[in-house]
Amino acid sequence: MVNPFSKDGIITKVTEALPGGGFITGPIHAAAGNQYHAVQAAIAGFGTVAALPLGPAASTVVGAGTAGLSGIFDQMGLTAIAGFGTVAAWPLGPTASVIAGAGTAGLSAIFEQMGLSDDKKHESVSAAERGDYEGATRVLLEAASVKIADNSRELSAESGGRRSLKSIHGTYLRAYDNEWKADLTSGPPREWERWYVEDWGGKVVFKAIHNPGRFLRAHPDGGVDLVDRPQDWETWKPFKNDDGSWSFLSVHGRWLSGRQDGSISTVERCNEWEHFWLEWW
């Protein structure tokens, strides 16, 4: 089975990282005829649990069609789902009707494939059996949000420590001492290529070895530089790829990328140039 946190194990990592991201990409996937991706975007936690495999769930929305899926997204609204803690405020009616189409067997399969607890599965299925599909949906989304948060924390902890970041080109991420600049340089890694990768509760920050501290920052336009203190733009969501490398998603929904000429930036899609190997120092 493909690692659900790898590049090939999710729809796009953008929808996983950005609350509400699934509402943006779901209709696009559906319009392209990709019902599997549309299901992940629509049902998989509104962009918060899209990293989890939901194969059997695909059959639950095939009948909805593009217009039906777009209606689901429109009725839910992005502002209502800005955070995990607002589950109770979500208008779940449209999605509940989709979940209803899966039946209790389909609902059970969703819980099992996502690796959610049996207690939550029984709670959700019991609600569905009573005809309370909104209740069943709410239990599913709450359990899935907790699951993805736990997995994110595990990944960020695993990727942390004293690390050098090696690109697919064999070059290493370097932080300058006399400029607010970062790029890639040839190995072996030396002092400027040494980083502290710190776990920030499901995300990471990259702190250069220099004193005072310098942190890797992503700009909305794709630029990457250094700054003296970490805030939102300095946090990255780690994803482990099947080849043993890691990919890092910025708060803007763009991927840390290293080019052959040694420059770094963030890009919209995650491919080979967005893979980095973490080496201890």
User: In this structure, are 174 and 145 located in the same domain?
Assistant: no
Q: Looking at 156, 185, 202, which one is the last position of a domain?
A: 156
Return the DSSP state at 110. H
User: In this structure, are 128 and 194 located in the same domain?
Assistant: no
Residue 45 lies in a domain: yes
Q: Looking at 129, 156, 183, which one is the last position of a domain?
A: 156
115's tokens: 């690796």
The model carries a pTM of: 0.60
Tens of pLDDT along 154-195?
Answer: 777 888 899 999 999 999 999 999 999 999 999 999 999 999
User: In this structure, are 252 and 148 located in the same domain?
Assistant: no
User: In this structure, are 59 and 122 located in the same domain?
Assistant: yes
Q: Looking at 156, 172, 192, which one is the last position of a domain?
A: 156
Domains of the chain: total: 2
Tens of pLDDT along 104-147?
Answer: 776 777 677 667 789 998 998 898 888 887 788 778 777 776 77
User: In this structure, are 146 and 228 located in the same domain?
Assistant: no
Going along 194-275, which residue ranges are E strands?
195-199, 204-208, 215-218, 224-227, 236-240, 246-250, 255-258, 264-267
User: In this structure, are 146 and 29 located in the same domain?
Assistant: yes
> Cis ω on the peptide bond leading into residue 188 (within 30° of 0)?
yes
Tens of pLDDT along 236-262?
Answer: 988 888 888 998 989 888 899 999 999
User: In this structure, are 191 and 260 located in the same domain?
Assistant: yes
User: In this structure, are 83 and 168 located in the same domain?
Assistant: no
User: In this structure, are 111 and 181 located in the same domain?
Assistant: no
List beta partners, residue 63.
none
Q: State which residues form the domain around 44.
A: 7-156
